[in-house]
Amino acid sequence: MSGGGRPPHLVLLRSPEGFAPAQVAAVLARRSKGHALDHLASARRAWGLVAESLPAAEAEELASGLTAAGQAALAAPSTLLESPPPPVLVKKAELSGDGFDVVSGRANALPERLSWSRLSVLCAGRLEVRSSTTVTETVSADLGEQAVRLGLSMATGLPLLKGKKEVKRTVETRDHVLTLDLLFLEPSRRLRVDARAFDYSLLGGKMGYGAEANFLALVSELAGRAPRALRGKGTRALLARRPAGEALYESLADLESEERWLLTLAALRAAL
């Protein structure tokens, strides 16, 4: 318990659209009497969850400072922090008037209907995926190796070996994959759509050619059916057809950090 018998508090930004890491870093720097650049990376990684556990009075002071700096914030007991459940990969679904119907997916995806009114957060974006493979190449031996082989051949009378050798090297490739998480409250669910492994027939006449075009159509359809759901940075960028880089997340962990913030914000809004 913090001073006065009050529990630890979190500090949360109120507006996903207004999140400005530089302004958050400037406020944190003033509190620590440091430099804003020292706080910029951590502010960016934390998204709008500026602090998870501070004494109540300190949290309220920080929230007030953020609000004064143009980053509207609130302080609330840390016990209200939401953590998204493990994702359930959905391969096929249907859109009904009442909700999102899961038809099939991985082993942990049971058929069920989830109400549009409970769809609290839509987080879509591009994730960078790295993979590496080992390749074997045959290359010519350098002059030094060839000279050694020639010397051994002359000394032993054995035939001169070919001036070739096999070299193994690791090749790293990078690709961007489109991912969509649908986060529901009561019941708590996180449904995940991988653009490359989803059946888009639920779009009906809106279904087009190519996974990316259909993925964008799906995000737009879901946003229209659940207009009150909070939208992540990537979702907003995709819906506005902004440059691809604006919908990019550094990693899956980066996406999930934003989801913790938005899901907590959605739960607090629902409780008011």
SS3 38: helix
SS3 70: coil
Q: How many beta carbons lie within 10 A of that of residue 204, not counting itself?
A: 9
Residues 52-103: tens digit of each pLDDT: 999 999 999 999 999 999 999 999 999 999 999 999 999 999 998 889 988 8
Do the Cβ atoms of 229 and 223 come closer than 8 Å? yes
Helices (H), the chain: 21-32, 37-46, 56-68, 143-156, 211-225, 233-239, 252-271
Tell which residue, 213, 220, 233, 185, has the closest CA to residue 84. 185
State both tokens at 169.
Answer: 């090297």
Q: Cβ contacts of residue 239 below 8 Å, gap of 6+?
A: 219, 220, 223, 231
Q: How many beta carbons lie within 10 A of that of residue 18, not counting itself?
A: 12
State both tokens at 221.
Answer: 């359809």
Model confidence at 3: pLDDT above 60:
no
CATH 1.20.120 for domain 3-80 = no
Residues of the chain with CATH 3.30.1390: 3-80
State both tokens at 201.
Answer: 């027939």
Residues 119-170: tens digit of each pLDDT: 999 999 999 876 566 666 665 556 556 555 555 556 665 565 555 666 676 7
**Global confidence as pTM:** 0.81
